[in-house]
Structure 1
């Protein structure tokens, strides 16, 4: 991981202790020191810590209280636009993942990802890339197709 500059500190807003522990181990394996990783299950506490610690990378579990967490991401990106925000969620929530990206997340990890998949996604995000799961790609394409069809219909109406 020597080719990347590690953004620190890290904040984790994670509701599942087992996954938080797994993510801690992965981040330590990438070279992150534990003293620069803070975590909470509480969004209000995360908002307070945001002012004190100015984390450069935030992992946020979107499974519970998603609307409030999406608002938090939007506010965070207004305050600290350069921070990396990585959504944590299950694969079945494609719409939620799309909403997270629209709110400002740079990428995501899924609860069921292997350690290698999580490391690859994190590295890709840190290099400026964005992982794209096939379900998300299909969802984006379907929305684009719907948008194009609606736009064509509106244009046809305005010609008449």
Structure 2
């Protein structure tokens, strides 16, 4: 039997913490091990190892009192290097989204996401995937301006790597890409690793952002939501 995904929640609104607590309480394979209302308290717990168990994943609100989530993210990652991070954000936090991407968070969700989307995000990121919530992805697709050398990046990627990068940009997970291309998940993972190396990024959202900025993926602003829960 697989170990449960141990989650820490860093969120200053008690009502939202209660929603997450109730959502995860009976969720098989997921355990909310602690919840705090500030990044300072989260850092204190992680740095001083105040609990016997370290989190596998941290749900982090960006707009926290005191030190914001985005300001605390590098220190939190350093204090708990084994943890993955899902950022909770508002649809108008455009600069924070990009800073979070650069800081290495693996998931980005709007606070308006459904409980099912949050649970799916936790499982996806814990399994090594990356995720963009609908409003966050919509921002990246519709507002980034081309500012990187397009031809240089495009020439570095093979036709199959471009194909896989495009599918990632459409919100598909590794298993979906493997099925779509009729190749193994292991092969998909190898291609994705090469894409990250060639684009000099750490995860899928950063790769998507860089590809759109460079213009090597279609850049067509839209008001339609992108694929749900990715």
What range is the shorter-chain TM-score in? Answer: 0.7 to 0.9
1:1-160 equivalences under 5 Å are 5-8=3-6, 10-31=7-28, 32-33=30-31, 37-51=33-47, 52=49, 53=51, 54-65=54-65, 68-133=68-133, 135-137=135-137, 139-140=139-140, 143=144, 145-148=146-149
| Alpha-carbon separation, structure 2, partners of 1:66 and 1:130 | 28
What SS class does the counterpart of residue 109 from structure 2 fall into? strand
Moved >6 Å (runs of 4+): none
- More helix as a share of residues: 1
| Alpha-carbon separation, structure 1, partners of 2:136 and 2:147 | 15
| Alpha-carbon separation, structure 1, partners of 2:102 and 2:66 | 13
Structure 1: segments with no counterpart, 5+ residues: 152-160
Aligned CA-pair RMSD? 2.8
* TM-score scaled by length of structure 1: 0.73
Structure 2: segments with no counterpart, 5+ residues: 153-230
Q: Give the length in aligned residue pairs.
A: 145
Once the two structures are TM-superposed, the CA of residue 44 in structure 1 deviates from its matched residue by 2.0
